[in-house]
Structures are given as C-alpha cells and as structure tokens.
Structure 1
Amino acid sequence: MNGPRQSILVISRHAHQGSSLARAALDTALSCAAFEQPVALLFQGEGVLQLLPEQDCSALRVRNLRKVIDSLPLYDIDCIYVDAEAATEFALSADQLPACARLLDGPALQRLLTQHDHVLAF
C-alpha cells in the first residue's frame, strides 16, 4: 500500500547561464511529477530570468529552459509561482510570464512555503 502523497515545492534561484542548478531544479520537478507527486515551482532571485521569452542561449551553449517551463502543464505541474519582487528587480512584466505563472508578494511567499511537505531549493 502506498503512503500519502507528499507535496513538494521546488525553488529555482539561479539563472540558466553559468550553472547547472536551474536545469537541476526543473529536472527534479519533472522527476517528482513522473512519480505522481504534487509538485510546484517557485522562481526567485535570478531564477526569474529563466522565464524571459525568446532567449537565444546558443552562444552560451546552454538550453533555453523557457521551452521546458512552458511544457510543465503537460506533466501536471500547473503551479508555477514567481517572486514578484524579483520579477520587478529584473524588469520582468506579467505578460512575459508563462500563462500558468502567478506572481506572489512576501506574505504570500511565506504561506506558500508552509503549504508544502518538502521544500527543495536550487
């Protein structure tokens, strides 16, 4: 018999350039979803830069993660959250975000952290 499903919040705090942590966060979320665990993603700090549309990453020899992010609902990852303060800091407007993304302010971010059984930060 399977135990209760544990909700997981994956936090991505790094841009996709210069580090593999952004990709690791997405891979972790996808792996959790593959095992039918309820998973949500939160983009904070430089992690919000992954959400910029139409990025040309070929010169950096890294994959454009926005395409992966846009496909997350296909894997039943419907909860994508964005730190509103970080989005403002990096001049990311609401119309640039994926359709399923929700901007959260400080108090809402605190509530989000307490709503999950496990929090994984990258």
Structure 2
Amino acid sequence: MSESTNTLAIINQSAPYGNSNGQESLDMAMAMSNFAQEVSLFFIEDGVLQLLTNQTPLCIDAKAYYRTFAALEFYDIENIYVCRNSLESRGIQASELCIDITLIDLDQLPTLLAKQQHVMNF
C-alpha cells in the first residue's frame, strides 16, 4: 500500500435479506475500489450468512446479489475476512462460502481495523 492509498474497511454484520445492508456494502466496496481505495471486507455475526453458496432469495422475491461477490477479484478486493467464531456459532464451514476468504478470530478484528483509515459498518 502506498502512502497516497486510502484504506477502507467495510464491516458486514447484517443478514443478507430483510434489509439492503448487504447489497449496499457490496456496491460501496466495488465503487470505492474504482476510486483508488484499498478495500477490506469483514464479515461478522449474521454478516457471514451473506456469503453462503446455497441461497434461494427468489422464493422471497429478493435479488440474488450474493452472486456478485465473485466479481470482487476483478475490483482487486482481496482482503476478505470472515470471523471464525461467527461461522462456528452458526454451524457453517468455510467450504460453504461462495468466495475465498481469510478466517480470523474475533479478537483479531481490532488490530486489523486499526490499520484502516476509514471504517463503515453495515
């Protein structure tokens, strides 16, 4: 990261449906990466549910935005952190997620966030 690069952490802690937080955070991540922001995504609590592979949002008349996560690599968004504790408490394995991630423990979150210039919470 160069000195002129701005860093942005986006924390996702909302379930994928019932509100627009997940879609909005994904849109923001891709938009900000287009403006020379180094974006890091964090998924904690119910936010880990956004990354599940086997979602069926059409049965509740919702958009399948989780498919867009695959495009993150084209936006050079590589820092994708998922809370191991959140996965375990929901009975989810990392192999059930739709993208490659880095597993972190909840106690690592403050250290990783301290390296960011800006933090957005969804």
Q: TM-score over 0.5 for the alignment? A: yes
Deviations 1:74-107 (A, max 9, x none): 1111111101111111111021234430111023
Could you tell me how far apart the structure 1 residues matched to 2:107 and 2:79 are? Answer: 17
Question: Partner residue of 2:6?
Answer: 6
Task: Give secondary structure in 1 for the equivalent of 2:18.
Answer: coil
* Maintained 8 Å contact 1:16/1:62: no
Tell me if structure 1 keeps the 8 A contact 2:52–2:98.
Answer: no
Contact 1:42 1:81 in 2 (8 A): yes
SS of residue in 1 equivalent to 2:120 = strand
The count of corresponding residues between Structure 1 and Structure 2 is: 120
CA RMSD of aligned residues (A): 1.5
TM-score by length of 2: 0.90
Deviating runs (4+, > 4 A) in structure 1? none
What secondary structure sits across from 1:11 in the alignment? strand
TM-score normalized by the length of structure 1: 0.90
Unaligned runs of 5+ in 2: none
SS of 1:7's partner is strand
CA–CA separation in structure 2 for the residues paired with 1:62 and 1:41: 23
What residue in structure 2 maps to residue 35 of structure 1?
35
Q: Kindly, what percent of the aligned residue pairs are identical?
A: 30
* Distance in 2 of aligned mates of 1:106 and 1:12: 13
Paired AA for residue 102 in structure 1: T
Q: Which residue of the partner structure matches residue 120 of structure 1? A: 120
Whether contact under 8 Å (2:69, 2:99) holds in the other structure is no
1:61 maps to amino acid? D
Amino acid across the alignment from 1:13: Q
Report whether the alignment pairs 1:104 with 2:108: no
